[in-house]
Chains A and B, each alone.
Chain A
């Protein structure tokens, strides 16, 4: 059993494809672990493997997949971490989940998350917080905290999540795994319960870079149901690069200095030294508008969310709290169904869009967004990748930041500029600080995922991070 769990997804898939491992045995091994989840990482676990084994030689080998709750899965609870969708079972399946299933990754379970992906600690889930497998008194990060914890703890071989301002990369960093946010438009958003439509992207959370590349290869592509999705130029190859010769890393002074925890900064600098030894050049660069990214993000994302969440009105599905008249029914339903952080962001967004304030808030935020994209464009003229710590700190204690939303928002300081610019970024574990994982982030130009994964792979081999402690 423990041998199975120690295989990466790619290794397991290779064995099933070769006929040396029964996919049903693999599924059951993980199913049993997921069902015994003590981290509250899952909100639903399959009773049995989905009917019909994957086609012989399916590239993903029947290796079971954990899916963030907000992906719609036909007939299976899809609650987006919210009580307002308690028991909601959609009549259709999200495109990326369907593509992955077709590729041979059957649904193992749905993972816990911050409500509607709003949070950085998973403490905003309507179904209770997720515990970090490295230290159960600490948070796993968020919002894809359930997916990150499940993969880190070996409750799932691999998982998918969504990233809006860092919701894949930050929990990946805090749990010691790999998390990739693809280029905006690379993966279909159809069937992803929306938080902020212009920022949301699906991506893999995996034990290593190779697993991430395998999942991503089956997630990308234009979907006629998503007008904002694009055909991916080229293919995602499995990464193989062993060195970084000729690769130019830019270190933005705005995102790699002040406010970063010393232990995180130490690990970051050690990784940069490693990159140089692999042949990379490491130079400072500047993203002058990056310090404003968080402010712009916390206007744009709540504004879009305020509209995206209007549909939870008690009329057609999900929670309804009856009342004598329509307005009271709306008010009572939404008051009862949404948690405090979701309410806070709906109010922020509603205010930012309201008549007389639109230009000052939403309009200005969009201008800042354009400037941030322009900053990255300028940097990529001289650099291949921008590198930063993923999160300013390692996993923090449960409850440590819940009283101060603004402190909580700082979690996203290093991860928010990339989705605002629509560019891909990956977080890989770079080591431990006081026994807790640290994430190292690489960001590249739009559709540079293959190069990005190649560079991440080279670093990963050199770092040699061992995450097995979290699986015990």
Chain B
């Protein structure tokens, strides 16, 4: 993003614009008119299959095999160190068997979310990659934090972390579409500056993220993790949402974030979170050890 072009929206009126955009988005969400990325067909079919308690692993495997990218990702993950296996997995059926139902579900949602973060627009491709890396770091950390603090299902922690910023690329794409509509083909111009662009995105993305999570039928603790990631819920101390909030702050503290970070704010959030979740400093240090590399590994 560059500075606003003359004649387009300037800093003085962007607040009004942001308000209007927020209203439009909220209105569309409440009327179920907001166009959100659908879950990829194969993932959707497979997740539907998993809802049946008598589902067959073979059927799930044969569905996944129709998507070569999903197949490759699945076998890679099944052979990763995280799965702690000694025998290499060579087929989707083996991978599905090793994953089990819960992990398979998480994998399918992760693969679907990854697609949302893939942008064709060169202006946001790097930022989207950065947000995805941050999300993966928060997800991995939240899974451990939830497990360690006994605050719910670690898999929900993982999904909450993974999806807590999923509204960002969607809003970014919406803003770029709006820009195209306003400016036509004048690609060198922008209608708002980069600061305004980020501020508008920050203001709207949580609404959009929650709407997407609901559309994708995510469990309630996951939706709550996306809804408000900035303040802890003191009334529900040991919750998945608080673990995600804490992990988000820790990831930012570790430099795993795209955008401005207020160091005092983040330090306060980490300090509160440690007491809230009952985590000692040495445990947090151990959980974050090598986090950046793990997130990078999972991106490839």
Q: Do A and B bind each other?
A: no
